[in-house]
Amino acid sequence: MVLGALWCKTERAAAIARRVRDIKAKHKLKPGFEAKWVKVSPGKISFYENLIDYFFDEDDLHFRAVVIPDKTKLNHLAFGQDHDTWYYKMCFRMLEPLIDPEQRYRVYLDIKDTRSEEKRRKLEEVLRNSRHDSSGQVLERVQQIRSHESEHLQIADLLIGAIAYHNRGFQTSAAKLEIVRRIQRRSGKSLTRSTWLRESKLNVFRWEAGGATT
């Protein structure tokens, strides 16, 4: 399981979205084409390589992933929690290092299922209560959006998919393996080990049940 977050300055968000749409146009893809990991294929490899290169070349784009290598080792009973509570803790673990209390943040979640709104409310509650931010002075907004409406979420989906694919040891797609290798080359990271906490471009935290990290 991999959780991931892409972030940028609010004032740069629109320009970044336009640049991604320009890359789509360059590869003769419609503006509404949704880039995502499951669509990586030999016929679109150049497009996805360009998208990865843009992420690394754009100074205002950053990404953090939390990798949970083996969910079968989870022992929720021992920690007095259920799976949902653990999930919110992992989301908090993913986002907490990114938050500067002197700044204000807007968090956008990809709508995944019929429980997405419930999860949104709970995550907002957990994030605000954990840092006494009930008035939203730091965490201004937690909002659901659909990934086809956001180029930023599409880049996040691509990076999350690549990291998950590599950590699961899959070898089923030459195109996907090439994207993984490109990310490794551009980042200088293995994608299977934790990076330094303050690594700002491509940050990876490998979480192990019991609290150990690698």
pLDDT in tens, 35-78: 999 999 999 999 999 999 999 999 999 999 999 987 655 665 55
Domain extent at residue 38: 2-96+149-206
Is residue 18 situated within a structural domain?
Answer: yes
Record the tokens describing residue 19, joined without a space: 């640049």
pLDDT digits (tens, 9 = 90+) for 98-147: 988 899 999 998 877 767 788 888 888 888 887 778 888 888 888 989 89
Distance CA 213, CA 38 (A): 28
Residue 111 covered by a domain: no
Residue 135 in tokens? 């008035």
Q: Tell me, yes or no, whether 113 lies in a domain.
A: no
Residue 115 lies in a domain: no
Residue 20 lies in a domain: yes
137: in domain:
no
Count structural domains, the chain.
1
pLDDT score of 80: 60
d(CA 69, CA 72): 9
In a domain, 106, yes or no: no
